[in-house]
Amino acid sequence: MAWDEWEHLKSDAAARGSAQMQLNQYPADQGGGPATGSASASASDDLKSDKKAWVKAGEGVKGLMDGVGKALTKLSEGQAGLGDTGGCRSAAAQKDLYESWRKYVGDVSSRCDGLGGLLEGAGHDLSKSDQVVREELDKLQLKYQDTEAVDGHTKEK
């Protein structure tokens, strides 16, 4: 497209008048909107939140810790008779796998506790901004990144 053609298209658009974009707000030139400084008033009229639901969700997530704890106990009991893994590669691989899963399941339990606490906290304190809640969730995600895969060999020290 030649520069002159581009300039012509821009001038045609300007001559027709620009279309105003409106994003969930009252147009600036029309009355009837909320008073200055009370923009959140209309938003809060539509926003419904049940603190009990947040607390119940948090308690439910924390409740997952019981089942995770039982799984960790069974995992530990199943590993109890393994003994020395020095001469058997499959036993060494099983030990590496067990250590990896023990850490992972422990982290899942801690993650349930952390996330459950955040949900319960949201039920008690809904005045936090979305940004603050997002930052807390991001911290939780960083803290509990998935464990690396094991290769089945004992680790040399």
Q: Per residue of the chain (157 residues), what is the pLDDT tens digit? A: 566 777 777 777 777 765 555 455 555 555 555 544 444 444 455 666 677 888 888 899 998 888 888 888 888 888 777 777 777 787 788 888 888 888 888 888 899 999 999 888 877 777 567 787 788 888 888 887 776 667 666 555 4
How far apart (Å, rounded) are the C-alpha atoms in residues 2 and 9? 11
Please provide residue 93's backbone torsions phi and psi, each rounded to the nearest 5 degrees: -65, -40
Three-state DSSP class for residue 37: coil
Global pTM reads 0.48
Q: Which residues, including other chains, have CB under 8 Å from residue 41's CB and lie 6 or more apart?
A: 34
Best CA proximity match to 109, nearest among 53, 51, 63, 44: 63
pLDDT given for residue 152 in this prediction: 62
- Give the residue from 62, 44, 66 showing the smallest Cα distance to 119: 62
pLDDT value at residue 132: 79
Domain ranges of the chain: 49-80+88-143
